[in-house]
Amino acid sequence: MKAMLLDRCVSFDPSSGTWSDTPLRLADVPLPIPSSEQVRVRTEICGVCHTELDELEGRLPPPHLPAILGHQIVGTVDALGVRAGSLQLGDRVGIAWIHSACGACAYCAGDRENLCPEFAATGLDAPGGYAEYVTAPASFTYPIPPGLESATTAPLLCAGAIGYRSLRLAEVANLDRLGLIGFGASAHLVLQLMRQHFPKIEVFVFARDADQRSFALELGAAWVGTLDETPATLLDAVIDTTPAWGPVLRGLERIKPGGRMIVNAIRKESTDREQLLELDYARHLWKEKQLISVANVTRADVRAFLELAAQCGLGAHVEEFALEDANLALASLRRSGSKGATVLRVLSD
Ligand SMILES: [Zn+2]
Ligand SMILES: [Zn+2]
């Protein structure tokens, strides 16, 4: 089968805006064989996530190279292990970031399998969807509701599900004003969900890119601006989806006493300790402000978000690339400023 392989991590030079080498290479690799509890899925669409930049630039290096990235997969079941449950050949399913968890630890038993010490990630610990076929445990796949299109649904499996988890951690039902810092794939889905399911909550969007700010207004943001601008009122909660540390501090300055700052990022690009030291107790945390990171997703998050999406016909705005053009897709994401989500179309019907 065809796959885009990461042979070794590359470095990114911000001054030239280029990588030290082309990250991924098109290759022919053996077709994966599902184990008894797995299914094999013929990939139709695989979303491109900022986490893939963390993987290929070495902030989150895959433990085994060469690696096949990609963890927002929609495709059809193509082969079944003997204990793969009730799935049928031809069923359309999704595969998300959570590839597996142990099922036996206190976190798994307590509905927090995202924190399981044996948490394994799709496209990192196990081969992902930048390939024509991928295997996954049957119990870690999700039927895609019939009304949802594959391309606009793939980003729901990470960007959407982790956005949904962020909203849960923000205790969304208690909010009047929610801030979103960064307006990429996850935030544009969160905003759409807010407009559909919590229309009374005002959403404030902070984004560097002017096109993204006007896109946020189109999707119903109450206010848009850059992080150098300050809305007239403090916010109840802010969700940060940027890859940098500075916006976390700026967000903490913009929440009310008792407010929540939710950081939805697997790694922050800044490793500059000076920046970390800027966290000032009085300014950023005093008066019971909370700073919470979002780690991974649970299957329940993915299922719940797919269900909400099906109820209101929610989908990502997507830019499509061919599998072979994965390097272009990643470069486009690296430049940011794109409207919505980026996906790879792997196989068409
Ligand atoms: Zn992701
Ligand atoms: Zn566990």
What CATH code is carried by the domain that includes residue 53? 3.90.180.10
Q: pLDDT averaged over the chain?
A: 94
CATH number at residue 239: 3.40.50.720
What is the pLDDT averaged over residues 58-63?
95
Q: Which DSSP state fits 283?
A: I
Q: Output phi, psi for 40, to 5 deg.
A: -105, 135
User: pLDDT at residue 307 above 90?
Assistant: yes
Average pLDDT over residues 331-340: 85
Domain shared by 313 and 275, yes or no: no
- Is 137's pLDDT higher than 90? yes
Q: Which ligand is nearest to the CA of 158?
A: 1
Do 284 and 340 lie in one domain? The reply is no
Statement to judge: residues 6 and 153 lie in one domain = yes
Take residue 225 and report the two structure tokens written for it.
């601006």
144-186 residue pLDDT tens:
999 999 999 999 999 999 999 999 999 998 899 999 999 999 9
Q: Are residues 279 and 138 in the same domain?
A: no
Section 235-245 average pLDDT: 94
Output the CA 280–ligand 1 centroid distance in Å: 30
Q: How many domains does the chain have?
A: 2
Report how far residue 312's alpha carbon sits from residue 125's, in angstroms, rounded to the nearest whole number: 34
**What distance in angstroms lies between residue 297's CA and the mean position of ligand 1's atoms?**
10
Q: Residue 159: name the closest of 291, 52, 40, 256 by CA.
A: 52
- Point out the domain boundary residue: 277, 293, 309: 293
Mean pLDDT, residues 225-237 taken together? 96
Q: Residue 273: its pLDDT value, please?
A: 53
Q: What is the pLDDT of residue 22?
A: 96
Query: Looking at the structure, do residues 172 and 270 belong to the same domain, yes or no?
Result: yes
Q: What is the pLDDT of residue 348?
A: 65
Based on the fold, state whether residues 126 and 50 are members of the same structural domain.
Answer: yes
Q: Which residue has the higher pLDDT, 334 or 240?
A: 240
Q: Which residues pair with 46 in a beta bridge?
A: 73, 344
Burial class of residue 106, CB neighbours in 10 A (0-12, 13-18, 19+): exposed
- Domain of 231, in residue numbers: 161-293
Give strand ranges (E) for the chain.
2-6, 12-13, 18-19, 24-28, 38-48, 73-80, 92-95, 98-100, 120-121, 133-137, 141-143, 177-181, 202-206, 223-225, 235-240, 255-263, 290-293, 318-322, 341-345
Give me the pLDDT at residue 274, please: 45
Given this model, what pLDDT does residue 349 score? Answer: 55
User: How far is the centre of ligand 1, averaged over its atoms, from the C-alpha of 347 (Å)?
Assistant: 21
Looking at the fold, whether 104 and 24 belong to one and the same domain comes out as yes
Ligand nearest to the CA of 119: 2
* pLDDT tens-place string over residues 72-112: 999 999 999 999 989 999 999 999 999 999 999 999 999 99
3-state helix, strand, coil in the chain (%, to 5): 30, 30, 40
Of all ligands present, the nearest one to the C-alpha of 154 is: 1
CA of 124 to the centre of ligand 2 (A): 18
Q: Model confidence over 245-304: pLDDT tens digits?
A: 889 999 999 999 999 999 998 888 765 554 555 789 999 999 999 999 999 999 999 999
